[in-house]
């Protein structure tokens, strides 16, 4: 378990909380629940309802669709944020790769935080935008690779 000072220092370094006032972060840190998960534990699964965001304090998690990996996240990374805003089922599963400690922020806690400090919403939008850009880059690289492979095979056949 983190002390209140350790919690404050930790969340201050998390990208979505950077640039926010310490007095606000102290209150936010005090309402977040600290959770421990064993290795290979499903924190949540694709298609299930979700109303919380998680932040990795220690350990690593795997974001995946079935057996296909989307990302591995480590200390300071957030996940689960999409369901906080759209109330849709989880779009992917998250499973621990090793023993893992996380902080959890619920939808109600986040909405209260946004009411007090709207900058947190902007930071989460930046996080979502960055993830969409990274996904687009991966898809483009994959399509270019497939296109190059197809062109090479056609050339070999001639």
Q: How far apart are CA 124 and CA 81, in angstroms?
A: 8
**Percent with pLDDT over 90 in the chain:** 42
Sheet holding 61-65, edge to edge: 42-44, 93-96, 61-65, 68-73
Q: What are the φ/ψ torsions at residue 31 (nearest 5 degrees)? A: -95, -15
Pairing of strands 93-96, 78-79: unpaired
Q: Are 94 and 80 in contact (CB under 8 A)?
A: yes
DSSP, collapsed to helix, strand or coil, labels residue 33 as strand
Question: pLDDT digits over 55-83, tens only?
Answer: 999 999 999 999 999 999 999 999 998 88
DSSP, collapsed to helix, strand or coil, labels residue 66 as coil
pLDDT of residue 154: 63
- Please state the pTM of the whole predicted model: 0.79
Number of folded domains that form the chain: 1
CATH at residue 31: 2.60.120.10
Q: How far apart are CA 91 and CA 58, in angstroms?
A: 23
Residue 43's pLDDT band, with cuts at 50, 70 and 90, is very high
131-156 burial string, b = 16+ CB within 10 Å, else e?
beeeeeeeeeeeeeeeeeeeeeeeee
For residue 146, the enclosing domain spans: 4-157
């Amino acid at each position: 378990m983190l002390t209140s000072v350790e919690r404050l220092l930790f969340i201050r370094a998390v990208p979505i909380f950077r640039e926010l006032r310490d007095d606000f972060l102290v209150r936010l840190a005090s309402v977040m629940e600290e959770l421990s998960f064993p290795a290979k534990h499903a924190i949540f699964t694709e298609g299930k309802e979700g109303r919380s965001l998680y932040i990795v304090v220690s350990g690593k998690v795997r974001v995946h669709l079935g057996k296909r990996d989307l990302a591995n996240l480590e200390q300071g990374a957030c996940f689960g944020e999409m369901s906080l805003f759209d109330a849709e089922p989880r779009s992917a599963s998250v499973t621990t790769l090793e023993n893992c400690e996380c902080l959890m922020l619920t939808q109600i806690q986040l909405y209260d935080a946004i009411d007090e400090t709207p900058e947190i919403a902007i930071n989460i939008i930046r996080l979502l935008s960055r993830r969409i850009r990274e996904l687009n880059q991966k898809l483009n690289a994959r399509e270019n690779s497939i296109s190059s492979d197809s062109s090479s095979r056609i050339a070999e056949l001639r």
